[in-house]
């Protein structure tokens, strides 16, 4: 497993380097410096606040996803959420999701696979909300003539996202509805791997399936829908605020377009923190609207920075406050 992670890590580093090279090869760094100096950082402060409100809403949604296991206070859920996103920025292969599940499971005395199952459902709600956002973007945004490449990227990303989303739903349905048959099929597919891998996988799947459940209360399910919409609203607002910080005034549909491109970008294997792919997607999205290259790169750097550095600082704070050591993070990594 470690060799596999290492391979993904170096593949991600190479991908990030490639896209960063594409991004900076024609940029005038003097103009870039000027653009960064002219930023109205009051908007950036508001953007960071909105990002943290989005993380808080994720903790609230997570509470309702785990309500069938036990009522968990936000004082446990929010720090675990922040630590998980910090780990996503620092570790390869989105290992922050496992760290997030492990930290909460240890703190609340739950089984890690069951908690991780709640995060899979969490991502399913994200996928559904992003598809709604994509649909709204396609319905409201009118791209300028000659932007067929951007329109193609948007449609392609939408198709890939939809197929992946439907695939996850099918696997989840099969695991829950036809548990024995599905586990048997997975066990058969795992035969080429070492026996120790299969012996570890099957019990984990059993615990994972046990965690795939939602509250039957209408108020709880409504809370899941409302928080999902609010999470992505407060992910959208920072994009618009950052544009305003650079005195760029575009319709909200343009911010939705950029956000959707960023969602597609983080699906591409890259270095920790989505460096390169994230910036290049933002840059290409802004170029559609005729934004100067230096300004586009500056906006891409700031949008990424507002979601990258603050959560790392906050994650370190919650590690310190919760007396969670780096050994605990490594132990979570070792559970993979």
Q: What is the mean pLDDT of the chain?
A: 82
| Number of independent structural domains in the chain | 1
pLDDT of residue 4: 47
Calpha distance 243→255 (Å, rounded):
8
Asked if 48 contacts 318 with a C-beta cutoff of 8 angstroms, the reply is: no
When mean pLDDT is compared over 34-43, 219-228, 327-336, the highest value belongs to 219-228
Alpha-helical runs (H) found in the chain: 2-24, 29-37, 41-65, 74-90, 96-108, 112-140, 148-177, 179-189, 195-210, 218-245, 252-265, 277-287, 293-321, 326-334
pLDDT of residue 88: 86
* pLDDT > 70 fraction of the chain, expressed in percent and rounded: 79
10-24, 30-44, 234-248, 307-321: the lowest-pLDDT one:
10-24
Angle at CA of residue 286, ends 283 and 288, nearest 5°: 115
Position 189 confidence tier, pLDDT thresholds 50, 70, 90: confident
Position 188 confidence tier, pLDDT thresholds 50, 70, 90: confident
pLDDT higher than 60, residue 192: yes
Cα 89 vs. chain centroid, distance in angstroms?
A: 10
Count Cβ atoms below 10 Å from residue 128 Cβ, excluding itself: 14
Asked if 239 contacts 220 with a C-beta cutoff of 8 angstroms, the reply is: no
Calpha distance 304→315 (Å, rounded):
17
Calpha distance 270→10 (Å, rounded):
9
Calpha distance 48→52 (Å, rounded):
6
pLDDT of residue 219: 94
Residue 62, token pair as written in the block: 């997570």
For CA atoms 215, 72, 87, 298, give the dihedral sign.
Answer: positive
Residue 328, CA atoms < 13 Å, CB-side half-sphere: 19
Asked if 246 contacts 38 with a C-beta cutoff of 8 angstroms, the reply is: yes
When mean pLDDT is compared over 123-127, 171-175, 265-269, 332-336, the highest value belongs to 123-127
Cα 140 vs. chain centroid, distance in angstroms?
A: 24
* Structural domain containing residue 225: 2-334
pLDDT higher than 50, residue 2: no
pLDDT in tens, 9-33: 556 556 666 666 766 675 666 766 7
Nearby residues of 136 by Cβ (< 8 Å), 6 or more positions away? 253, 256
Average pLDDT over residues 237-257: 93
Asked if 63 contacts 56 with a C-beta cutoff of 8 angstroms, the reply is: no
pLDDT of residue 277: 85
- Using DSSP's 3-state secondary structure scheme, residue 27 falls into coil
pLDDT higher than 90, residue 297: no
Residue 235, token pair as written in the block: 């992910």
Average pLDDT over residues 119-124: 88
Calpha distance 125→230 (Å, rounded):
12
Calpha distance 269→35 (Å, rounded):
30
pLDDT higher than 70, residue 85: yes
pLDDT higher than 70, residue 254: yes
Calpha distance 295→5 (Å, rounded):
36
């Amino acid at each position: 497993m470690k060799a596999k992670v290492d391979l993904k890590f170096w593949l991600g580093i190479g991908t990030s380097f490639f896209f960063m090279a594409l991004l900076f090869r024609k940029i005038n760094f003097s103009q870039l410096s000027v653009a960064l100096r002219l930023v109205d950082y009051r908007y950036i402060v508001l953007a960071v606040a909105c990002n943290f409100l989005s993380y808080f809403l994720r903790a609230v949604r997570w509470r309702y996803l785990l309500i069938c296991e036990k009522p968990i206070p936000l004082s446990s859920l929010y720090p675990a959420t922040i630590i998980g996103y910090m780990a996503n920025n620092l570790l390869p292969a989105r290992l922050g999701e496992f760290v997030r599940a492990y930290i909460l499971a240890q703190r609340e005395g739950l089984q890690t696979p069951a908690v991780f199952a709640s995060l899979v459902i969490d991502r399913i709600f994200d996928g559904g909300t992003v598809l709604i956002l994509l649909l709204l973007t396609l319905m409201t945004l009118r791209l300028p003539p000659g932007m067929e490449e951007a329109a193609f990227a948007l449609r392609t990303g939408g198709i890939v996202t939809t197929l992946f989303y439907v695939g996850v739903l099918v696997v989840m349905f099969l695991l829950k509805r036809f548990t024995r048959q599905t586990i048997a099929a997975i066990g058969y597919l795992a035969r080429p791997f070492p026996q120790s891998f299969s012996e570890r996988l099957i019990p984990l799947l059993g615990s994972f399936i046990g965690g795939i459940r939602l509250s039957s209360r209408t108020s709880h399910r409504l809370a899941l829908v409302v928080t999902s919409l609010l999470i992505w609203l407060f992910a959208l607002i920072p994009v618009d605020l950052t544009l305003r910080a650079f005195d760029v005034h575009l319709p909200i549909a343009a911010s939705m377009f950029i956000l959707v491109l960023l969602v597609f970008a983080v699906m591409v294997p890259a270095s920790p923190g989505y460096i390169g792919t994230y910036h290049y997607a933002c840059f290409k999205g802004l170029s559609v609207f005729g934004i100067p290259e230096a300004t586009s790169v500056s906006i891409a750097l700031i949008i990424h920075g507002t979601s990258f550095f603050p959560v790392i600082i906050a994650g370190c704070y919650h590690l310190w406050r919760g007396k969670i050591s780096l050994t605990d993070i490594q132990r979570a990594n070792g559970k993979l």
